[in-house]
Amino acid sequence: MENLMGGFATVFQPATLAYCFIGVFLGTVVGILPGLGPLTTIAILLPITYKMDVTSAIIMLSGIYYGVAYGGTITSVLMRIPGEASSVVTCLDGYEMARKGRAGAALGIAAFGSFFAGTIGVVAISYLSPPLSRWVLAFGPAEYAMVMLSGISLVTYFSSGSKLKALLMAAFGLLLGAVGSDPMAATPRLTFGVFHLAGGIDLVPLAIGLFGISEVLSMALQKPEKMQVLAAPTGFLPFMPNRDEARRSAAPVVRGTFLGFLVGLIPGGGAVLATFLSYAMERKLSKNPDEFGKGAVEGLAGPEAANNAGTAGAFVPLLCMGVPANAITALLLGAFMIHGVAPGPTIIERQPEIFWGVVASMYVGNVMLLILNLPLVGLFVRILEVPRAWLASIILIVCLVGVYSTNSAAMDVLLAVLFGVVGYILRRYGYDLGIVILAYVLGGVFERSLRQALAISDGDLAIFVSSPLTITFAVITAVLVIIAMIPRRASPKPAQATSTPTR
């Protein structure tokens, strides 16, 4: 507790407080803007922090990371375009709630749920970091590989629609993640002779293409009136959920918080996996699973809480082990190293002001985000009144800025457009694109762990069932994949049966 108080003393210094505010505000803004994600923003701002104090720099960059989770919700709910990958799930029910005239309530539930989860997540970091880091440290390559594999299997199993299609998308996500340099030998592969691909396919063009550009193409084929379904609430009260919505969102928020934090601890897990798992869990627990995807409050509240808790959880392996949970925390790790600080088990003892300063800033940052988000959300609701012509043009240009700025490469823009067209086709035929992103993100850690484990065992696959932990994950994976592969007879749709009687 004394250390935490010391952290608060650091944060409440005017300059540090200002950097915390700048971070969460920027995070919210880039979360709102489709295309400009936290990865791009942190990468852009990283050089600016060179001359800053290390604690302030990390506090500002961390603020962008967890602020994005709040901001991403707004575009997901209002435009069905995720500001970043972990907001993909929010699109499903948040957008449908908004279409039913409950945009304000959806944003209110998301903001309160995110605040609760973010705060609980930070409390958990404060108290659970030491024992959890010791437990995670016990993972070997085989354990990591099986955790990743079972994570992907769980997500495909719980995905809506065909499980086979979900498995296929997971395989393609892993393949896309394998393009570029081999993570162990740095040999280029799957490049088809294209020099630009030697560095791999970046997450930004892939995500913007699959979600942003494919959405613009879908908009082009929609009737214009579809963009004007949502009513823009004004004032504070419309953002408050009604009694039924509040009652239905309470338990999913609590469940999402705990699930999100635990998943966030797993390197490679983080907020994206947490949101998908939370959504799947809520649908399984729901008495009305058919309502999911059509504006279920539980489908919004759970994943939103999991998103923020997962973001908080992802800081644990970073701060306690020096292992980034995802690409964004990898950039934060880079920021630490630029300033000559090596995060890891010793940071709590040797540089407590940094560790506890960052932790305390998250408490403060979450309060700032709640205060910022609810009043500002009303302004962003008005985005829906913008006609498709303006909206599509602006989205495309922001996507261009986001994609190009990542590597300053026109090739990335080409890739994003190609992924956009492919994404539109795949979405049209019922393929879940969120799984592609998830498998892509997990692919690097999964391959490294898999190959390390096989190298240790000299190719003996028994290493993956050599401990109770790996056996548990192996059984989970096997059961889920077998269930997914069993073809199920689709129930005929009455409308189709009558319209095409010859089929």
Partner 1 sequence: MRMTGSRWTALGLLVAAAAAYWQASLLPRWGFDGPGTGFYPQVIAIIAMVLAVVMFFVDNEEPSSSVDDDNAVPRYGHARPEERRVFHIYLLALALLVAGCWWAGFVVTSIVVVITIMRFAERVNWRASLITAFSVAAVGQIGFGWLLNVSLPEKAPDLALRTLMRSAGLL
**Residues from 36 through 75 that contact partner 1 (CB under 8 A):** 44
Please identify, using beta-carbon distances, which residue of 163 and 255 lies nearer to partner 1.
Answer: 163
Please answer whether residues 464 and 476 qualify as being in contact, where contact means their C-beta atoms are separated by less than 8 angstroms.
no
Nearest to 445, CA basis, from 136, 76, 78, 210: 136
DSSP assignment of 5-17 equals: HHHHHHHTSHHHH
Query: Per rule CB under 8 A, is residue 196 in the interface with partner 1?
Result: no
Stretch that binds partner 1, among 71-79, 132-140, 363-371, 444-452 (CB under 8 A): 444-452
180 phi and psi angles, rounded to 5 deg: 105, -155
Please list every residue from 239 through 278 that binds partner 1, using CB under 8 A: none
Query: Per rule CB under 8 A, is residue 431 in the interface with partner 1?
Result: yes
Q: Number of residues in contact with partner 1, rule: CB under 8 A?
A: 74
Q: Which of 8, 29, 53, 182 binds partner 1 (CB under 8 A)?
A: 182
Q: Whole-number minimum distance, CB 325 to partner 1, in Å?
A: 21
SS3 annotation, 397-443: HHHHHHHHHHHCCHHHHHHHHHHHHHHHHHHHCCCCHHHHHHHHHHH
Residue with token string 């609430």: 233
The C-alpha angle 462, 467, 469, rounded to 5 degrees, equals: 120
Q: Which of 123, 217, 246, 465 binds partner 1 (CB under 8 A)?
A: 217
Stretch that binds partner 1, among 118-126, 323-331, 337-345, 445-453 (CB under 8 A): 445-453
Please identify, using beta-carbon distances, which residue of 170 and 377 lies nearer to partner 1.
Answer: 170
Q: Whole-number minimum distance, CB 330 to partner 1, in Å?
A: 20
Please identify, using beta-carbon distances, which residue of 226 and 284 lies nearer to partner 1.
Answer: 226
Query: Per rule CB under 8 A, is residue 231 in the interface with partner 1?
Result: no
Query: Per rule CB under 8 A, is residue 187 in the interface with partner 1?
Result: yes
Q: Give every CB contact of residue 86 below 8 A, 6+ residues apart in sequence.
A: 69, 72, 270, 271, 272, 274, 275, 307, 310, 311
Q: Whole-number minimum distance, CB 219 to partner 1, in Å?
A: 8
Please answer whether residues 158 and 283 qualify as being in contact, where contact means their C-beta atoms are separated by less than 8 angstroms.
yes
Query: Per rule CB under 8 A, is residue 109 in the interface with partner 1?
Result: no
Q: Which of 285, 390, 461, 478 binds partner 1 (CB under 8 A)?
A: 390
Q: Whole-number minimum distance, CB 79 to partner 1, in Å?
A: 15
Radius of gyration of the chain (CA): 22
Stretch that binds partner 1, among 81-89, 159-167, 272-280, 337-345 (CB under 8 A): 159-167
Rounded Cα distance, 83 and 380, in Å: 13
Query: Per rule CB under 8 A, is residue 389 in the interface with partner 1?
Result: yes
**Contact letters (x/-) for partner 1, 480-499, by CB under 8 A?**
-----x-x--x--x-xx---
Read off the amino acid at residue 72: G
Q: Whole-number minimum distance, CB 266 to partner 1, in Å?
A: 20
Please identify, using beta-carbon distances, which residue of 138 and 185 lies nearer to partner 1.
Answer: 185
Please list every residue from 325 through 384 that binds partner 1, using CB under 8 A: none
Q: Whole-number minimum distance, CB 23 to partner 1, in Å?
A: 15
Please identify, using beta-carbon distances, which residue of 349 and 491 lies nearer to partner 1.
Answer: 491
Nearest to 299, CA basis, from 33, 34, 67, 113: 113
Rounded Cα distance, 81 and 335, in Å: 29
Q: Which of 3, 405, 466, 467 binds partner 1 (CB under 8 A)?
A: 405
The C-alpha angle 193, 173, 113, rounded to 5 degrees, equals: 140
Please identify, using beta-carbon distances, which residue of 12 and 390 lies nearer to partner 1.
Answer: 390
DSSP assignment of 223-281 equals: -GGGGG-S----SSGGGS--HHHHHHHHHHHHHHHHHHHHHHHSTT-HHHHHHHHHHHH
Query: Per rule CB under 8 A, is residue 464 in the interface with partner 1?
Result: no
Q: Whole-number minimum distance, CB 328 to partner 1, in Å?
A: 18
Rounded Cα distance, 209 and 402, in Å: 11
Rounded Cα distance, 174 and 419, in Å: 15
Query: Per rule CB under 8 A, is residue 9 in the interface with partner 1?
Result: no
Q: Which of 337, 371, 455, 461 binds partner 1 (CB under 8 A)?
A: 455
